[in-house]
Amino acid sequence: MKRSVTLLLAALLAARMLTGCSESPAETSQGEKDSTGVPTETEKALTPEEQKVLEKQNYYDTLPGSIVNAGGEINFISGTWEDISADELTGERYNDAMYNRNLEVEDRLDVKIVNEYREDRNTVVTTINSNVLAGDGTYDVVSSFAPQISTMFAAGSFLNMRDIPNLQTDEAWWNQSANDNLSIAGYSYTLISSLCHNAQGVAMIILFNKDMCVDYNLGLPYDAVKEGKWTYDMMFEMVDTLPLDSNGDGAMDDRDIMGYTGQLMDVQGAMIASSMDYFTKDENDVPLFILQNENNVNKFETLFNFFTDKTRVVLIDAYKFAGSVTGWDYWNTRFLEGGPLFMREYPCNMYAYTEMEDDYGVLPMPKYDKAQSSYRCMGSKNHTSGLCVPKVFDAEAGDIGLVLDAMSYVSYVDVEPDFVRSYLESRYVRDEDSAEMMLIAIRNIHYDPGFILGVNWSDAMSIPNNVVKSGSNTLMRERPQKKDSALCSWFSGKRRDPS
């Protein structure tokens, strides 16, 4: 691979030189402009593919270290469906992008990537915990979901990821909020990068009915997203434009056109999207519970009023449905039938909408207001994947770091875009704008420290959900309940009680 890239770079340079040799009489020497001020051929920009080749070469040329065990294996054990490897080329864009990523990294770094996939993800937990106790370094990297990661961490099975050399975690292919927040007292037990495709598949997104936007003269929100103006106020205004009692039966209930449908977990998602934090960190990297600070309380009042408006919003696990319909019946059919204007979803579920008659689009979660610096999306805790290194492993630590960083980098530049393109080709998303919106969402997933601390704080992140379900805004009176757990004991004395 290294030789093929070098030859391609030489070909690109030769093409530029040949183009420069065919100057017209009006052109001057290479790199200058002709008498009309028009750039010469040699000044013209590279194509996107040519630019990518050069950027990749620069990445590999500037790696922070070198492989020690050339030709050696880096052994993964994974309980995640699709993060680490693809068995063969199938012609499916996303699958082939993962397959080619591993080939590229193997060729460029002179290593062999080996992945052992476990269909029963809980066997990853028992295997790693047992291997660490036995001093067995069969596996160098663990790819698993958040609940299983927290269990292995609580058992003391993971190395501090900050001790792994050659990880360029300040780069765009590593999720910065995971770097900052999924650690305790300086101990970073997992990292999330563009290699964690399962995490991207469970980023909260918003579906919207484009036909309804046309029918009610609402416009499409794509430009607002691109301009940083897609906010909850904008969503509320669009929802308020819809008629009440649309079926004219005198009752305002789920049989009318609704503005939004989702689940109670959407309250969590809206708070994360609104830049509201449940926990922060003190100077010792210990989590502090801050849900009830003034900023959060004020913002929550707005979200509470929206999510409890049962004439506009259906949260299926907190709604009394008319007639015999159930929450899941409504969830599985109403948006498909052209019902609510907005619906919360995950990319991994988009296959369910390919036969929908109305046209629909995809949006990231809204910002709270225009002053918010960036969009933030929450991921599903149960199916977010992360990368960990067990305390006992056979490969060189620096080699592990180089491979993880390179796989993450190539995932960022190749696999993520092909992931989105595959959704277009499969008609999971129906337009280029929606593909762009999905990429915004998966590249702005935010992980609050509470994302993992539910293990020992009785899921503090569920407090706002329960407040909305009650119908009474008691946020200021709610406190997370401490629980006994292995994880709780691990950093006993390092954390601060939320009382």
Residues 6+ apart with CB under 8 A from 142: 76, 77, 78, 124, 128, 149, 152, 158, 387, 388, 389, 390
Please give the model's pTM, rounded to 2 decimal places.
Answer: 0.86
Q: Is the pLDDT of residue 250 over 70?
A: yes
Q: Pull the structure tokens for residue 39.
A: 């750039």
Integer angstrom CA distances of residue 242 from 253, 256, 305, 307:
14, 10, 17, 16
Q: Which of 61-65, 82-86, 273-277, 357-361 has the lowest mean pLDDT?
A: 82-86
33 CB-near residues (< 8 Å, 6+ apart): 39, 40, 43
Tell me: pLDDT of 89 over 60: yes
How much is the pLDDT for 324? 76
User: 273 vs 421, which has greater pLDDT?
Assistant: 273
- Give residue 454's pLDDT: 55
26 confidence band (pLDDT: 50, 70, 90): very low
**Tell me: the pLDDT tens digits for 371-393?**
999 999 999 988 999 999 999 99
Candidates 132, 167, 169, 176; CA nearest to 151 is 132
Q: Is the dihedral of CA 211, 212, 215, 220 positive or negative?
A: negative
Rounded mean pLDDT of the chain? 87
pLDDT of residue 325: 84
What does the pLDDT average to over 366-371? Answer: 98
Alpha-helical (H) ranges within 369-473 are: 397-410, 416-425, 432-442, 450-453, 463-470
- In Å, how far from its chain's centre is CA 298? 27
- Using one digit for the tens of pLDDT, what is the confidence trace for 312-347? 999 999 999 987 788 999 999 999 999 899 999 999
Residue 217 Ramachandran class (φ > 0 left, ψ -120 to 50 alpha, else beta): left
pLDDT for position 41: 53
Distance from CA of residue 97 to its chain's centroid? 18
Report the pLDDT averaged over residues 158-186. 95
**What pLDDT does residue 337 have?**
92
Q: How far is residue 216 CA from its own chain's centroid?
A: 32
Which range, of 25-39, 144-158, 444-458, averages the lowest pLDDT? 25-39
